């Protein structure tokens, strides 16, 4: 696992800023890189963080630490679609970071606008690339799933949608999925690539 799951604030900084804690409904156990465990029973809700001209809210869990004032966790980074550039000591929002690092975009910066005006206009000719001329999507009945598996599938898909790992699609091509039970008893979602080869 990489990075912190939750966003954290130093207890010293929270006291200096005279912040009011909010009790958690359920206590959280936080594991530190030093293999210590800390039990958290309150948080600081909607703390406003400033990044240049942008202000973003964050819910912060207090932990005794001296090296950092605040650690932005994966919860905050995912919800704000943010990337931390450690070298430049900046936070980049959206997918701008990846575009700026592309050689073509850097080389011809005057050609690419900062903001896109919208979707491209409709064209007279619909363009598509056919790998196999005249190929049609394979029509196959989906795997039968037990109600428990169907519920798990919906939960995992919803979680992936919320974290922007996947997005809704109306594309006629797709791949069947199935579940493989992990050692801990939970289900791992797997794509059955055999049907695509």
Taking phi over 0 as left and psi of -120 to 50 as alpha, with beta for the rest, 47 belongs to beta
In a domain, 157, yes or no: yes
On whether the CB atoms of residues 44 and 112 are closer than 8 A, the answer is no
In a domain, 188, yes or no: yes
- The CA radius of gyration of the chain, in Å to the nearest whole number, is 23
Considering 40, 65, 80, which residue would you say is the last residue of a domain? Answer: 80
On whether the CB atoms of residues 186 and 101 are closer than 8 A, the answer is no
- Cross-strand partners of 65: none
From 11-15, 107-111, 113-117, 159-163, the region with the lowest mean pLDDT: 107-111
Exposure string for 7-45, b = 16+ CB within 10 A, e = fewer: bbbbeeebeeeeeeeeeeeeeeeeeeeeeeeeeeeebbe
Check residue 36 and give its pLDDT: 77
The tokens describing 103, both together, are: 């050689």
Mean pLDDT for the stretch of residues 129-134 = 75
On whether the CB atoms of residues 10 and 66 are closer than 8 A, the answer is yes
In a domain, 88, yes or no: no
**Helix, strand or coil, per DSSP, at residue 18:** coil
In a domain, 134, yes or no: no
Domain extent, residue 151, equals 147-196
Considering 80, 95, 123, which residue would you say is the last residue of a domain? Answer: 80
Check residue 1 and give its pLDDT: 46
Considering 30, 45, 80, which residue would you say is the last residue of a domain? Answer: 80
On whether the CB atoms of residues 40 and 27 are closer than 8 A, the answer is yes
Mean pLDDT for the stretch of residues 51-57 = 82
In a domain, 161, yes or no: yes
- pLDDT at residue 143 is higher than 80: no
Strand 90-93 versus strand 37-51 pairing type: unpaired
- pLDDT at residue 41 is higher than 70: yes
Categorize the per-residue pLDDT at 192 as very low, low, confident or very high, splitting at 50, 70 and 90: confident
| Number of domains the chain is built from | 2
Percent of the chain beyond pLDDT 70? 78
Q: What is the mean pLDDT of the chain?
A: 78
In a domain, 60, yes or no: yes
In a domain, 115, yes or no: no
**Among all chains, which residue has been given the structure tokens 């979602």?**
189
- pLDDT at residue 40 is higher than 70: yes
Check residue 165 and give its pLDDT: 80
**Among all chains, which residue has been given the structure tokens 């000591």?**
89
CA distance 41 to 60: 12
Check residue 148 and give its pLDDT: 85
In a domain, 68, yes or no: yes
């Amino acid at each position: 696992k990489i990075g912190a799951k939750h966003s954290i604030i130093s207890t010293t900084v929270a006291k200096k800023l005279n912040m009011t804690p909010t009790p958690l409904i359920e206590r959280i156990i936080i594991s530190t890189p030093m293999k210590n465990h800390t039990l958290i029973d309150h948080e600081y809700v909607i703390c406003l963080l400033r990044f240049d001209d942008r202000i973003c809210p964050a819910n912060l869990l207090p932990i005794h630490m001296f090296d950092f004032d605040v650690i932005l966790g994966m919860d905050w980074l995912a919800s704000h679609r943010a990337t931390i550039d450690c070298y430049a000591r900046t936070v980049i929002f959206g997918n701008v970071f990846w575009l700026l690092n592309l050689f073509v975009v850097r080389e011809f910066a005057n050609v690419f606008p900062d903001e896109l005006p919208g979707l491209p206009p409709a064209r007279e000719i619909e363009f598509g690339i056919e790998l196999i001329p005249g190929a049609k999507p394979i029509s196959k009945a989906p795997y039968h799933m037990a109600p428990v598996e169907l519920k798990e599938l919906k939960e995992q898909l919803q979680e992936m949608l919320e974290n922007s790992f996947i997005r809704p699609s109306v594309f006629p091509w797709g791949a069947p999925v199935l579940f493989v039970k992990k050692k801990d008893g939970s289900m791992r979602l797997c794509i059955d690539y055999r049907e695509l080869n």
